[in-house]
Structure 1
């Protein structure tokens, strides 16, 4: 049995883990904070405060952090000095996750309806934000879009469709447009949230109701699994050799419950795996 280590606890709804430099960055949606964690000594630093739920981030190739301010319908850039500026106006609120490819194209997804407000179901979509700040929708009819990842060769975007229990793939064109839509993997009862890709083109997905992280091959074959004692919201491969799977997890209370998770149940976990991370995030 592999050891699942707890690096940090006592947080809220934790999401969007990203490895950069020698630290793990994650978002605490409950606190409205983006936090940097040193996994060696456990020290933390709040690097941005944005009152938004969802609150997801990724890195531009130039190193600056892009932050989805969902409530404001904005994509923010955190400058090297720590100030936040508007990178793009997304036009409306309700955005969720983000991944940025190696050319600086940012893919941001949003749900089509908000079940917390009792809205009738509508499928969600993915929009492209190009380096010049323009925004356009590039994929639709994703029942509930969650985590996204770009394969190591930069040719494919994989999107977690939580409600359809599947990972959906698109080819990425020279201009960032998406085409060749296909089901990359059907997951049975698996409910994918945040995802990442490894060097063998397998995907790790975090599962909230399943309380686990699962590694799957294209087509859906299960290659590995890490069981958790609470909902897994997202995962990323990082560390000096990218062989540490960092998982953000919390005790899920349901979409209609205040706060969504049990207060103080948010944790950052780490487990060693065989295959290193690759691609983005």
Structure 2
């Protein structure tokens, strides 16, 4: 966040800066079906797209929907882009108000498809493109929606109650389970629908994001960093790490 850099890291730990975003706190990234990178420039209310020559273009302007920051992104297998955050301005003393989810359709149109999300965080779409799962960090749960043919969301339901878990980034595996990263509890947890815990990986700092990948799709990559509160989100302290561990099932769905 603080540097605005998007960094690639290989299995040996070598890293390379792939892109520097000229924005304050660029949040999340994903890829379009044609391989172009998209990034949420959260405080600017923009979704940016990297062109083949490396330049950045505005893919969607979300400022007309909310003046609050935008956060996470997921692109499904049909090219629908879902971005969350935004929503009403936060109440006094709070950092975020109730969040929303917006859809950026392949034709470029933008519309809100869900609201009243309790601190919207990571999102994932099932392999059949029929279900979107979103982390509601301040409600300690994962919430699911059916995805209609036009990308609209319906049939909102609790996918998993997480007790004292605070889900941040999430990903799906081929057995239908979800891994979620948890900052205050400093771990990543694998749960099935309904909330039963299947596995857990502890860290010595907050876990912000997780993704399954590697040669066989069974390496769980975790982005972790020391968390000092919202007031210190931009800091010179470089405490971020990419951790990896073997998982029991390969990744599935999107991202």
Q: Which residue of 180, 186, 192 maps to 1:217?
A: 192
SS at match of 1:104: coil
The alpha-carbon deviation at position 121 of structure 1 amounts to 6.1
Cα distance in 1 for partners of 2:89, 2:224 equals 22
Q: Secondary structure at the match of 2:138?
A: coil
Choose between structure 1 and 2 for higher RCO, CA contacts under 8 A separated by at least 6 residues: 1
**Does structure 1 retain, via aligned residues, the 8 Å contact 2:76–2:254?**
yes
Secondary structure at the counterpart of residue 73 of structure 2:
strand
The equivalent residue for 1:102 is: 77
Q: Once the 2 structures are TM-superposed, how far is the Cα of residue 43 of structure 1 from its aligned partner?
A: 3.2
Decide whether the 8 Å contact of 1:170 with 1:178 is kept in 2: yes
Structure 2 residue aligned with 1:36: 8
Q: Distance in 2 between matches of 1:260 and 1:165?
A: 25
* 2:180 equivalent in structure 1: 205
Kept in 2: contact 1:230–1:250 (CA 8 A): yes
1:71 aligned onto 2:40: no
Distance 2:2 2:79 in 1: 29
RMSD of Structure 2 on Structure 1 (CA): 1.9
Structure-2 change in CA distance of 1:198 and 1:121 (3 Å): closer
Whether the 8 Å contact between 1:254 and 1:260 is mirrored in structure 2 is no
Which deviates more from structure 2 when the two are superposed, residues 264-273 or residues 121-130?
121-130
Shift of 1:130: 0.6
1:265 is aligned to: 239
Is 1:175 the counterpart of 2:147? The answer is no
Q: How far off its partner does 1:258 sit?
A: 2.4
Query: Relative to structure 1, is the Cα distance of residues 54 and 117 closer, same or farther in structure 2, using a 3 angstrom cutoff?
Result: farther
Q: TM-score, structure 1 length as denominator?
A: 0.85
Any conservation in 1 of the 2:7–2:15 contact (CA below 8 Å)? no
Query: Is 1:246 aligned with 2:218?
Result: no
Q: Secondary structure at the match of 1:163?
A: helix
Which runs of at least 4 in structure 1 moved beyond 6 Å after TM superposition?
114-117
The answer to whether structure 1 residue 82 and structure 2 residue 57 are counterparts is no
Q: State the distance in 2 between where 1:271 and 1:88 align.
A: 36
Number of residue-to-residue matches in the alignment: 252
TM-score (norm: length of structure 2): 0.93
Alignment of 1:151-162 (within 5 A): 151-162=126-137
Is the Cα contact below 8 Å between 2:90 and 2:97 reproduced in 1? no
* Deviation, structure 1 residue 262: 7.8
Q: Closer, same or farther in 2 for the Cα pair 1:39/1:127, shift >3 Å?
A: same
Paired residues of 1:77 and 1:87 also in contact (CA < 8 A): yes
CA distance in 1, matches of 2:237, 2:165: 25
The unaligned stretches of length 5 or more in structure 1 are: 1-28
Instruction: Name structure 2 gaps, 5 residues minimum.
Output: none
Give the counterpart of 2:210 among 221, 235, 238. Answer: 235
Match of 2:118 in 1: 143
Q: In the alignment, is residue 126 of structure 1 matched against residue 101 of structure 2?
A: yes
Is the CA contact 2:161–2:195 (under 8 Å) kept in the aligned structure 1?
yes
Q: Is the 8 A contact 1:54 1:95 kept in 2?
A: no
Q: CA deviation at 1:41?
A: 5.1
Classify 1:120/1:272 alpha carbon distance in 2 versus 1 (closer, same or farther; 3 Å). closer
